Amino acid sequence: MVGGGGLDLLCNGVKIHHVDVPHKDQNRLEMRDLLAWVQSNLIKERPEMFIKEDSVRPGVLVLVNDCDWELCGGLGAELEEKDVVVFISTLHGG
Amino acid sequence: MKFHKTLHYEALPFENPLSLDRRCYQNLAQETRFFQPRASCPLPSSALPTREAISSPPREDTSDHWSGHLHQYAAHLTIINCCTISMEEGEGSTASKRGGGRLCFICNQRRPALKRPKTQEQICRECFYVVFEEEIHRVIMDNHLFKPGERIAVAASGGKDSTVLAYVLSELNRRHSYGLDLFLLSVDEGITGYRDDSLETVKRNEIQYGLPLKVVSYKDLYGWTMDEIVSVIGLKNNCTFCGVFRRQALDRGAALLKADKLVTGHNADDIAETVLLNILRGDIARLSRCTFIVTGEDGPIPRCKPFKYTYEKEINKYAYFKKLDYFSTECTYSPNAYRGFAREFIKDLERIRPQAILDIIRSGEDFRISTTTRMPEQGTCERCGYISSQKLCKACVLLEGLNRGLLKLGISRANGSRRHDVGHPKPEAKRPIIQNKPCGTLDF
């Protein structure tokens, strides 16, 4: 998992995370599960910069295997082993 | 059981657009269903003839409005013949699980990687590069932004917008032979941990894109770094100082480069945000100015915004997919909270209706200002000669406040009467102090 565009600053400056996300349902892991997991396990400060209500804050781009998550099903996008999820924030100047 | 549409591609039967006569249209109307713009097509898909327009034969007397387009753009169109519907057994490939199994709207060959906010078309990465770049080329051509032989300074902060701008401009300059001399121009505000790092990025860009770089610093121009300013005034209003100084610094840097124009990476989101902010502030003069694609044409160095219609979202994806080297850290001094709200509001709107961004810009463009509104007259600053609607430009007022320890000078409107005082300095008391740290004269 990669956090770019300043989002790395919310996770102690670490850009790339290799994560093993535990999921209840043996076979399915959706983006919404990943977001919840990231929020409680990786984000160290200012979670409001990443999450708004039950999704990412508008202005944060999400790519699953380099494909916009809007095309993969958004929150319901199903994740598999070795998938690469990228978050890029656009919510600051410059 | 699933139905799959197989599309047959055919090269355009007539490479010479002039051979597209009326009879050809009628043949086309019978044989083909619709036109698919090729990746190189400079037209938005909305300007292309619809399926209905194509299947109804053109009238005898006049040429249809779309036939003009066809003449002009025939070289960019691929004609897609009648669809053959075939049946395939079972589930689609793995592609259908992610991205719904669709193919790129433009090339119909690769899997889409994103949905365009403007058109909702799902397109692949390669086609995205082409439409993204060509759209900016269109904006440049339609607005006559550049003339051959001009020296263009690209305001480069090291952030994603200016990095993509420098990259795309140097590409387009080469591809379409604009004949421009491009330069990178950076401002060193003197912010440790922010600007020093982003300047490193710009220095790498200088080498990567082969564009000469000029850095102008607040310290040299004004005698103060932002770090020093913040140590005096604290974290309130510091963005006012920075913003006012940067504006002038870019003009001065461009003058040093002998540039004919300054281009900035302001994107559609930024402009929509500024329209909103100017409405919220009741700033009518800026409201009418902020949507112009070229500003300051009467001034020494015109500025233009080739990304005026480009979504920030797409700039970001472009930078990411192209793996451009850019810097993305928030300024270490507190961000402008008021602007932050406007920004977030725009992003919230975009999520519900992406078109909102372009519509806000259009609202700003079409604003009519009542004739009874008094507009400030533009003059020049008595002290440094920079354009100003007051006797002294904002930078000189702010600088005077810093140098004299009157930190509120020029900050709030409540101090308007005091600002008036500044306009008439008592020569014996004020001149020497100002001369210690002059904000310089413009070298135009």
B119: chain A residues, CB-CB within 8 Å: none
Q: What is the per-residue pLDDT for B100?
A: 53
Percentage, residues of chain B above pLDDT 90: 44
Judged by CB atoms closer than 8 Å, whether chains meet at B115 and A71 is answered as yes
Cβ–Cβ contact A48 with B under 8 A: no
Structure tokens belonging to residue B161: 């917008």
In a domain, A94, yes or no: no
Do B396 and B433 contact (CB within 8 A), yes or no? no
Q: Helices in B290-415 by DSSP H: which ranges?
A: 312-321, 337-352, 356-366, 394-404
In a domain, A71, yes or no: yes
The pLDDT-based confidence of B18 (bands split at 50, 70, 90) is very low
Domain count within chain A? 1
Q: State the DSSP string of chain A.
A: -EEETTGGGGGTT--B-------SSTT-EEHHHHHHHHHHHT--S-GGGTEETTEEPTTEEEEETTEEHHHHTGGG-EE-TT--EEEEE--S--
Q: What is the per-residue pLDDT for A25?
A: 66
Cβ–Cβ contact B110 with A under 8 A: no
The pLDDT-based confidence of B265 (bands split at 50, 70, 90) is very high
Q: Is B206 helix (H, G, I), strand (E, B) or coil?
A: helix
CB pairs under 8 A between A and B: 89
Q: Locate tokens 């535990």: which residue?
A: A22
Interface test with A, best of B94, B97, B98, B347 (most A CBs within 10 A): B98
Query: Closest residue of B to A3, CA-based?
Result: B328
Q: What is the per-residue pLDDT for A6?
A: 62
Q: Is B192 helix (H, G, I), strand (E, B) or coil?
A: coil
Q: Is B17 helix (H, G, I), strand (E, B) or coil?
A: helix
Report, as ranges of residue numbers, the positions in chain A whose pLDDT lies below 50.
Answer: 93-94
Do B44 and B22 contact (CB within 8 A), yes or no? no
The pLDDT-based confidence of B380 (bands split at 50, 70, 90) is confident
d(Cα B42, Cα B339) in Å, to the nearest integer? 34
> What do you get for the CA distance between the two ends of chain A, in Å?
24
Cβ–Cβ contact B160 with A under 8 A: yes
d(Cα B172, Cα B117) in Å, to the nearest integer? 23
Judged by CB atoms closer than 8 Å, whether chains meet at B320 and A65 is answered as no
Residue B58 clears pLDDT 50, i.e. is over it: no
Q: Which of A65, A71, A86 sits opposite B114 (nearest CB)?
A: A71
In a domain, A61, yes or no: yes
d(Cα B392, Cα B430) in Å, to the nearest integer? 14
Burial class (CB in 10 A: 0-12, 13-18, 19+), A72: buried
d(Cα B439, Cα B399) in Å, to the nearest integer? 8
Cβ–Cβ contact B354 with A under 8 A: no
The better pLDDT of the pair B386, B213 is held by B213
In a domain, A73, yes or no: yes
- Closest by CA to B99, choosing from A86, A77, A31, A56, is A77
DSSP annotation of B383 reads T
Average pLDDT on B233-251 reads 88
The pLDDT-based confidence of B90 (bands split at 50, 70, 90) is very low
- Closest by CA to A46, choosing from A9, A75, A15, is A9
Do B361 and B268 contact (CB within 8 A), yes or no? yes
- Closest by CA to B253, choosing from B185, B203, B201, is B185
Judged by CB atoms closer than 8 Å, whether chains meet at A71 and B113 is answered as yes
In angstroms, what separates the C-alpha of B158 from chain A's closest C-alpha?
Answer: 8
A64: chain B residues, CB-CB within 8 Å: 98
Q: Locate tokens 């977001």: which residue?
A: A35
A88: chain B residues, CB-CB within 8 Å: 316, 320
Residues B148-366: name the CATH superfamily: HUPs (3.40.50.620)
Question: Rounded to 5, what percent of chain B is helix, strand, coil?
Answer: 45, 15, 40
Long-range contacts of B15-18 (CB under 8 A, 24+ apart): B15/B75, B17/B70, B17/B71, B17/B72, B17/B73, B17/B74, B17/B75, B18/B71
Q: What is the per-residue pLDDT for B123?
A: 95
- Domain ranges for chain B: 1-89, 148-366, 379-436
Integer angstrom CA distances of residue B198 from A9, B37, B104, B314, B325: 16, 39, 36, 22, 10
Winning range, highest mean pLDDT, from A22-26, B151-155, B433-437 = B151-155
Q: What is the per-residue pLDDT for A1?
A: 63
The residues, any chain, with a CB within 8 Å of residue B87's CB and separated by 6 or more, are B1, B2, B3, B4
We report the CATH number of the domain holding residue A71 as 3.10.20.30
Bridge partners, B122 (sequence order): B115
Query: Closest residue of A to B98, CA-based?
Result: A72
The pLDDT-based confidence of B238 (bands split at 50, 70, 90) is confident
Q: Helices in B234-325 by DSSP H: which ranges?
A: 238-256, 268-281, 284-289, 312-321
Domain that holds residue A8: 2-89
ipTM: 0.87
Query: Closest residue of B to A52, CA-based?
Result: B348
Cβ atoms < 10 Å from Cβ of B32: 17
The pLDDT-based confidence of B148 (bands split at 50, 70, 90) is very high
Integer angstrom CA distances of residue B237 from A20, B80, B226, B420: 45, 59, 12, 20
Q: Locate tokens 């604003």: which residue?
A: B367
